[in-house]
Structure 1
Amino acid sequence: MNITHLPLNAIRAFLVSAKHLNFTKAAVELCVTQAAVSQQVKMLESQLGVSLFIRQSRGLNLSEEGMMLLPVVQGAFDNLSEALDMLAQGIHREVVTVGVVGTFAVNWLLPRIADFQARYPLVDLRISTNNNTADPVAEGLDYLIRFGKGSWHATEATELFPAPFTVLCPPGIGQALASPRDVLNYTLLRSYQPDEWQLWLNEAKVAVPKAKLSAIVFDSSIAMIEAAIQGYGVALAPPVMFERLLMEEKLVQPFDLYLHKGSYWLTKLHAQKESQAQINFKQWLLACASEACSTSV
């Protein structure tokens, strides 16, 4: 149903009548006649094809359909009232929509969101998580935070920080890893590209036929790391994304040996113009990334 065809006065009459469960009291609040309120509600019911009230001799009760509709209508009117109040005061909110790699969203961005909200209370940040693939046009994204080399078609990319991969595992397994070759005694956990473990072992100068590398593959680094914590094997992941777990000693990094596969980037389409709210988010994010890099050195 096209809601633009529903009369606002009728929806308002329903809301106030549901509040009082009485057409007469609703009429007093709306400064119209009882008959007008009843007629507006009947018109709305006719257009919706349902009864919103159960009419009884002692008054009204909401029907199941009325109970379902009431919180939706109340919320819509509350939002409208808030927006009108803000406009009257010369205040308006802006929205910034960001697509984010899931690992980055949970482990890096989320702990910093409170700071952004404190600095920009009139900006609503909307976050959509993905596995490093998203369509900014189809999904209506202002920015896309992704992992890679920084080259995407028709896209402006600003580097946030590099995120090299290395072995992460629970302390019990870490104690048993005397050399990089020892990881082969455990199940290899990985996500993203199928050659990651082979490339890391090449960096470690451990010669192993690729066919002998068996692994459990995850579509999420978060799930992969949880499997490592539970003792299912050793993971290959960027430690910068799991600093909290390393500090809590749920994970350890046994080797100072890295596979450099790319960085995290803030990207947007070249053709897309930035609003002030978007610029504020971009500058805040870059400042956070710079601070994080300086404290980790």
Structure 2
Amino acid sequence: MDRPNLPLNGLRAFEVAARQGSFTRAAIELRVTQAAVSQQIQRLEDLLGHRLFTRASTGLILTDIGAALHPVLTRNFDQMGEVLDRFQGGRYRETLNLGVVTTFATGWLIPRLAAFEAGHPDISLRLFTHNNRIDIAREGLHMAIRFGDRTAWPWLEARPLIAAPLTPLCAPDLLDRLRRPHDLAGLRLLRSYRADEWAAWFAAAGADCPPLEGPVLDSSVAMADLAAAGHGAALLPASMFARQLQAGTLARPFDTQIEAGRYWLTWPRGKPQTVAMAHLDAWLRDTIAGG
């Protein structure tokens, strides 16, 4: 198809709908109506003479031709957007969209952002916090920092950043009640969606794990806030809450800790790093190595 005849509006609508898995979410991203998205894609299908989607109860499913077309469009739209971003405002500047698990953002990255920005004035770093469940491509990110085990993301490139062993943290005024690990059974044990962590910690401490009850939270920051307010003990990476421990809003009753994963810098497998991605990767590596 000749370049002047490329159906750019339809291709853009298709790319977003395929990435979002929904005409409704595509309409939100494109800031148009759902009907407009549907019409653009219908025109594209009529032009090609092929269906691009089939509908299912779980959302949109790409046909064979849709599956072949989608990655090509995503790659090229990303490249065009990155080039245009660099020249906004009359000066060269590269934008880098970084997803960051909230605990790492507040406990390590944000206090050091000024140093990165001072050393890289040509990079506009945009942070998007998440709860460790994130889709880089769908959310328009270049890279993401997440917590866990490397085997959890075999489709991504991943470089280890910081180990983050977990240990119980609580309000300082609860310390007198916690002489041995079993004493934690007298408190509410705040839980994350990783259900086996408390059992692993009690096993490492040589004690039986009590029955676990109460709400399950998907944010370590929220668990830390509840623990600091005296609502129980939370199993958290102490290194990410060093400021609260130093300020005395949180306390660490026991030395026992367990390895449940580490923080990783991740990006799509097979996608070359941009200049900004390479600079961030190197800065993280150098800053962590420097303590």
Compute the TM-score of the two structures, normalised by the length of structure 1.
Answer: 0.66
| Counterpart-to-counterpart distance in 1, 2:272 and 2:129 | 23
Contact 1:145/1:267 (CA < 8 Å) preserved in 2? yes
3-state SS in 2 of match to 1:178: coil
Partner Cα separation in structure 1 for residue 167 and residue 225 of structure 2: 16
Measure the CA separation in 2 of the matches of 1:158 and 1:177.
38
Give the CA deviation at 1:269.
1.4
> Shift in Å at residue 153 of structure 1?
2.1
- 1:249 maps to which residue? 248
Counterpart of 1:228 in structure 2 is 227
- Deviation at 1:276? 1.2
Q: Match of 1:107, SS?
A: helix
Q: Is 2:176 the counterpart of 1:165?
A: no
Distance 2:269 2:222 in 1: 34
User: How far apart, in 1, do the equivalents of 2:149 and 2:194 lie?
Assistant: 14
| Paired residues of 2:198 and 2:209 also in contact (CA < 8 A) | no
Match of 1:261 in 2: 260
Deviation digits for residues 130-189 of structure 1, max 9, x if unmatched?
Answer: 111111111121111111111212211110011010010111112321001110011111
Shift of 1:231: 0.5
Equivalent residue, structure 2, for 1:186 = 187
Q: Output aligned runs, 1:16-27, within 5 Å.
A: none
Alignment deviations for residues 175-229 of structure 1 (CA, whole Å, 9 cap, x no partner)? 32100111001111121311211111111111246xx222432121111110111
Partner in structure 2 of residue 59 of structure 1: none
| Contact map agreement 2:97 2:125 (CA 8 A) in 1 | yes
CA RMSD of aligned residues (A): 1.8
Asked if the contact 2:172/2:249 (under 8 Å) is kept, the reply is yes
What stretches of structure 1 move > 4 A for 4+ residues in a row? Answer: none
Q: Specify the alignment match of 1:278 in structure 2.
A: 277
Count of residues in Structure 1 that have an aligned counterpart in Structure 2: 206
In structure 2, what residue type is equivalent to 1:106? T
Residue 112, structure 1, aligned to residue 127, structure 2: no
Please, which moves more after superposition, 94-103 or 283-292?
283-292
**For 1:39-95, what per-residue CA distance to the aligned partner results, in whole angstroms no more than 9, with x for missing partners?**
xxxxxxxxxxxxxxxxxxxxxxxxxxxxxxxxxxxxxxxxx9x94643xxxxx0001
- Runs (5+) with no aligned partner, structure 1: 5-79, 87-91, 293-297
> Would the alpha carbon gap of residues 175 and 126 (structure 1) be closer, same or farther in structure 2, given more than 3 Å must change?
same
Preserved CA contact (<8 Å) 1:187 1:216: no
Is the Cα–Cα contact under 8 Å of residues 189 and 236 in structure 1 kept in the other structure?
yes
Q: Against the structure 1 CA distance between its residues 85 and 260, is the aligned structure 2 distance closer, same or farther, given a 3 Å change threshold?
A: closer
Equivalent residue, structure 1, for 2:13: none
Distance 1:241 1:277 in 2: 25
Shift of 1:118: 0.4
Distance 2:244 2:271 in 1: 37
Runs of 5+ consecutive residues of structure 2 not aligned to the other structure:
1-8, 10-84
Q: Is the 8 A contact 1:145 1:266 kept in 2?
A: yes
Q: Mean alpha-carbon deviation: is it higher for 99-108 or for 221-230?
A: 99-108
2:87 pairs with 1:99? no
Q: What SS class does the counterpart of residue 160 from structure 2 fall into?
A: strand
**8 Å Cα contact 1:160-1:290 kept in structure 2:** no
CA distance in 2, matches of 1:266, 1:175: 39
Aligned residue identity for 1:261: A
Give the secondary structure class of the aligned counterpart of 2:177.
Answer: coil
Quick one: distance in 2 between partners of 1:216 and 1:247? 28
1:134 maps to: 134
**Superposition pairs of residues 22-37 of structure 1, within 5 angstroms:** none
* 2:277 aligned counterpart, secondary structure: helix
Asked if structure 1 preserves the Cα contact closer than 8 Å seen for 2:171 and 2:228, the reply is yes
Contact 1:99 1:127 in 2 (8 A): yes
Task: Please tell me the residue identity of whatever aligns with 2:236.
Answer: A
Question: In the aligned structure 1, how far is the partner of 2:209 from the partner of 2:162?
Answer: 31
1:223-270 deviation line (CA, Å, top 9, x unaligned): 111011111011111101101001101111111101111100001112
Give me the whole-angstrom Cα distance separating, in 1, the residues matched to 2:184 and 2:90.
Answer: 62
Alpha-carbon distance in 1 for matches of 2:249, 2:112: 22
Query: Residue 97 of structure 1 contacts residue 141 of structure 1 at CA under 8 Å; is this kept in 2?
Result: yes
Question: What secondary structure, in the 3-state scheme, does the structure 1 residue paired with 2:257 have?
Answer: coil
Task: Report the 3-state secondary structure (helix = DSSP H, G, I; strand = E; otherwise coil) of the residue aligned with 1:260.
Answer: coil
For 2:226, what is the secondary structure of its paired residue?
helix
CA distance in 2, matches of 1:83, 1:219: 37
Q: Which has the larger radius of gyration?
A: 1
What's the CA shift for 1:271?
1.5
